[in-house]
Amino acid sequence: MTFGVRSARVRYGDRTAVDDVSVELDAGSVTAVVGGDGAGKTTLLRALVREVALDGGTVTAPDKDRLGYLPASSGSWAGLTVAQNIDFVGGVFGLAGEALAARRAELLAAAGLTAAVDRPASQLSGGMRRKLGFCMAMVHEPALLVLDEPSTGIDPVSRIDLWRLISETAARGAAVVMSTTYLDEAERAARLLVLDRGRALVQGSYDEVRAGFVGTITRDRAAVRPHWSWRRGRERREYWPDADQPAGQAVVEPDLEDIVVALSLAARNREGAAT
């Protein structure tokens, strides 16, 4: 089963938060939605879980009882213990008694939270709290799992652990979509969608994105065309969208960060030229 959105458009007043975005979410794979603050990630994910209505386009998603969602804000109740948080959500989905206890034990063991079962959520570290939110979104074994920035602000060791949980969910056959601001996470997903100011800047597997990138990126101490350049360490990178780069400059094999910055610059420079 493939879920996703087609030609999705969402407006807030006169601002278009998501503009003609399409993405397919396959069972058994992880899709990463990448972008900064204001790119439209949260709006797109909320449209998928039907918390936001589309102004255009279509959503294909399972019913609530097969849909798991971890919002960007916490996702758990601070005053409840780890067990109470899981049990509450489990109850909403009709789990009770031994079935609930077994599911809770399984989830907490996988997340490494067994020892914290009686601790209030308010006393968990940021990484543990995100893992608890993940467990709550997974209680009812959803066919589509939607995670809004599960790894933002948590430490690298917890982040690897969370990525292991996400991988496990996909390995069991669920479609997983997660938003992130970390490009290295997006590189590891089966498919990535880069959003920039509500629009899809680029999408596909990381290999497809690299293969489809047009133009050349060079590096030097100073830029020839400042509007086409950006900082990377002590050097500057510069994007040459056509085959026009000057001879004698070092050409880099672009990584995802180079590609995303280059395409963002191209979008802005095109707009600048049009006005």
Partner 1 sequence: MSRRDTSRDTSRDTSRSLLRATSVTHRFGDLVAVDDVSMHVEPGEVVGLLGANGAGKTTLIRMLLGLLATSEGEVVVLGGPPDRARRRRLGYVPQNLGLYRDLTAEENLTFIARAYAAARPVLPPDLAAYAGVLVGDLPLGIQRQVAFVAALCHAPEVLLLDEPTSGVDALSGTRLWDTIRAESDTGVGVLVTTHNMQEAEQCDRLLLMSDGKVVAQGSEGDVIGDTTAIAVHTDDWARTFAALNAAGQPVVLDGRAVRVADGHVARLEQILAAEGITARLEPVPATIEERMLVLARGEADTS
Nearer to partner 1, 113 or 265 (CB): 265
Residue 125 binds partner 1, judged by CB under 8 A = yes
C-alpha to C-alpha distances, 2 to 21, 144, 156, 171, 242, nearest whole angstrom: 16, 9, 31, 16, 36
Binding-site member from 13, 156, 248, 272 for partner 1 (CB under 8 A): 156
Helix, strand, or coil here: 209? helix
- To partner 1, the closest distance from the beta carbon of 40 in angstroms equals 11
Binding-site member from 189, 193, 202, 223 for partner 1 (CB under 8 A): 189
Report the alpha-carbon distance of residue 104 to residue 100 in Å, rounded: 6
Report the alpha-carbon distance of residue 228 to residue 246 in Å, rounded: 14
Q: Alpha helices of the chain — where are they, by DSSP H?
A: 41-48, 82-92, 97-111, 126-138, 156-171, 183-188, 206-212, 256-274
Residue 71 binds partner 1, judged by CB under 8 A = no
Residue 36 binds partner 1, judged by CB under 8 A = yes
From 98-106, 138-146, 156-164, 242-250, give the range in contact with partner 1 by CB under 8 A: 156-164
DSSP-derived pairing of the beta strands 175-180 and 30-34: parallel
Nearer to partner 1, 35 or 75 (CB): 35
Beta bridge partners of 69: 146
Residue 269 burial (CB < 10 Å; 0-12/13-18/19+)?
A: middle
Q: For 95, left (φ over 0), alpha (ψ -120 to 50), or beta?
A: beta
Nearer to partner 1, 38 or 241 (CB): 38
Residue 208 binds partner 1, judged by CB under 8 A = no
- To partner 1, the closest distance from the beta carbon of 275 in angstroms equals 16
Binding-site member from 113, 196, 218, 239 for partner 1 (CB under 8 A): 196
Nearer to partner 1, 87 or 161 (CB): 161
From 47-55, 60-68, 133-141, 201-209, give the range in contact with partner 1 by CB under 8 A: 201-209
Helix, strand, or coil here: 61? coil
C-alpha to C-alpha distances, 93 to 138, 142, 194, 216, nearest whole angstrom: 11, 11, 33, 52
- To partner 1, the closest distance from the beta carbon of 166 in angstroms equals 8
Q: Given the rule CB under 8 A, which residues bind partner 1?
A: 28, 30, 35-39, 125-127, 152-161, 163-164, 166-168, 170-173, 181-184, 187-190, 196, 205-207, 230-234, 257, 260-261, 264-265, 268
